[in-house]
A and B are shown apart, each in its own frame.
Chain A
Amino acid sequence: MSDQSSEPKRGHFAQNKGEVILREHEYDGIQEFDQKLPNWWLFTFYGAIVWFAVYWFLYYQLHHLRSDREVVVAEMKAVYEKKAKELEATLASLDDQTLVKTWATDAGIVASGEAIYTTNCIACHGADMSAVMMAGDQKIPLPGRSLNDGVWEYSGKPMDIFKIINQGSPVDAKGLNGAKMQAWGQMLTPKQIAEVTAYIIAKNPKEFSAQP
Chain B
Amino acid sequence: MILVKTNTTITYDDTSVRQFMIASIIWGIVGMLVGVIIATQLSWWQMNGKFLEAFSFGLFKGEGLSYLTFGRLRPLHTNAVIFAFVGNMMFAGVYYSTQRLCKVRMGSDFLSRLHFWGWQTIIVAAAITLPAGLTRGKEYAELIWPINIAVALIWVVFAINFFLTIAKRNEPSLYVALWFYIATIITIAMLYIVNHLSIPTSWIHSYPIFGGLQDGLVQWWYGHNAVAFFLTTPILGIMYYFLPKAANRPVYSYRLSIVHFWSLVFIYIWAGPHHLLNTDLPHWLQKLGMLFSLMLWAPSWGGMLNGLLTLRGAWGQLRTDPVIKFFVAGITFYGMATFEGPLLSISAVNAISHYTDWTIGHVHSGALGWNGFMAAALFYWLAPRLWKTKLWSISLANMHFWIGLVGILIYVAAMWTAGISQALMLNQEDATGTTLKYEFVETLKSIHLEYFLRSLGGLLYLVGFILCGVNIFMTARSGMATNESVEVAVLPREKKDFMKWGESLVNDPLAYIFLGIILVCLWFFLPAHANLGALVAAILLAIKAVRTFRRNSQVWANWHERLIENYLPFTLLVFIAVAIGGALQIIPSLVVNRDKNIEGRLQELYTPLELAGRDIYVSDGCYNCHSQMIRTLKPDVMRYGRTGIADDFSHLGESLYDHPYQWGSKRTGPDLAREGGPVAQGAKHMRIGKRDNIWHYNHFLNPRQTSDGSNMPNYPWLFESKTDFKGLPKKIAVQQKIGVPWPAMTKDEIEQLAREQAMEIATNLVQGGVYLEAKPELKGDELRNYLADQKIVALIAYMQKLGAYREVSPEGGAKPTPLDPDSLRKAAMPLEPPAATIKPH
Which A residues are closer than 8 A to B by beta carbons? 1, 22-23, 25, 27-38, 41-42, 44-45, 48-49, 51-53, 55-57, 59-61, 63, 67-73, 75-77, 79-84, 86-88, 119-120, 123-124, 133, 135, 138, 140-143, 166-167, 174-180, 182-183, 185-189, 191-192
Contacts and interface: CB of A to CB of B under 8 A. Distances in A.
Most buried by A among B649, B694, B835: B694
Contact of B840 (A22, A86, A185): A185
B647 A73 contact: yes
A175 B681 contact: yes
Most buried by B among A80, A119, A133: A80
B838 to A, nearest CB: 5
Contact of B838 (A38, A69, A80, A183): A80
B813 interface: no
B245 A29 contact: yes
A49 B295 contact: yes
A123 B705 contact: yes
A51 B256 contact: no
A41 B638 contact: no
Contacts of B442: 119
Given A88-B841, A178-B681, 20 more contacts: A1-B249, A22-B250, A38-B305, A45-B298, A52-B292, A56-B291, A59-B287, A60-B821, A63-B828, A68-B632, A72-B647, A76-B638, A119-B442, A143-B695, A179-B688, A179-B693, A179-B695, A186-B435, A186-B641, A187-B439
27 contacts: A28-B175, A31-B244, A32-B251, A36-B255, A42-B298, A44-B297, A45-B295, A48-B297, A48-B298, A52-B291, A57-B535, A60-B821, A72-B634, A123-B707, A124-B695, A140-B770, A141-B769, A142-B698, A143-B692, A143-B693, A174-B682, A179-B692, A186-B435, A186-B641, A189-B430, A189-B435, A191-B432
B825 A60 contact: yes
A56 B287 contact: yes
B773 interface: yes
Contacts of B769: 140-141
B688 A175 contact: yes
Nearest to A163: B841
B294 A48 contact: yes
Nearest to A35: B253
B356 interface: no
Interface of B: 100-101, 103, 171, 173, 175, 241, 244-245, 248-257, 259, 263, 278, 283-284, 287, 291-292, 294-295, 297-299, 301-302, 305, 309, 347, 430, 432-436, 439, 442, 523-524, 528, 531-532, 535, 632-634, 637-638, 641-644, 646-649, 680-683, 686, 688, 690-695, 698, 705-707, 764, 767-771, 773, 821, 824-825, 828-829, 832, 835-836, 838, 840-841
Given A72-B633, A174-B681, A175-B680, A61 B253 contact: no
B638 A67 contact: no
A29 B103 CA distance: 11
Contact of B771 (A70, A140, A143, A191): A140
Contact of A76 (B171, B637, B821): B637
B693 A63 contact: no
Nearest to A180: B688
Nearest to B648: A76
A73 B636 CA distance: 12
A67 B825 CA distance: 11
Given A77-B836, A119-B439, A133 B705 contact: yes
B268 to A, nearest CB: 14
A138 B770 CA distance: 11
Contact of B252 (A1, A33, A68): A33
Nearest to A142: B694
A113 to B, nearest CB: 15
A52 B841 CA distance: 45
A177 B173 contact: no
A61 B840 CA distance: 38
Given A44-B298, A48-B298, A76-B634, A33 B251 contact: yes
Contacts of A76: 634, 637-638, 641, 646-648
Contacts of A28: 100-101, 103, 171, 175, 241
Contacts of A124: 692, 695
Contacts of A86: 432, 434
A178 B677 CA distance: 12
A189 B298 contact: no
A55 B693 CA distance: 49
Nearest to B295: A48
B252 A182 contact: no
6 interchain residue pairs of minimum CB distance: A179-B692, A45-B298, A141-B769, A31-B250, A35-B253, A143-B692
Nearest to B692: A179
Given A27-B101, A56-B287, A77-B646, A178 B347 contact: no
Contacts of B707: 123
Contacts of B175: 27-28, 30
Given A27-B171, A33-B253, A73 B835 contact: yes
A70 B240 CA distance: 48
B291 A51 contact: yes
Nearest to A188: B435
A33 B250 contact: yes
Most buried by B among A25, A32, A88: A32
Nearest to B431: A189
A83 B432 CA distance: 9
B532 A61 contact: yes
A114 to B, nearest CB: 14
A88 B690 CA distance: 26
A45 B100 CA distance: 34
Contact of B432 (A135, A138, A189): A189
B249 A178 contact: no
Contacts of A59: 287, 825
Contacts of B299: 45
Contact of B433 (A34, A68, A82): A82
Nearest to A172: B681
B250 A52 contact: no
Nearest to B636: A72
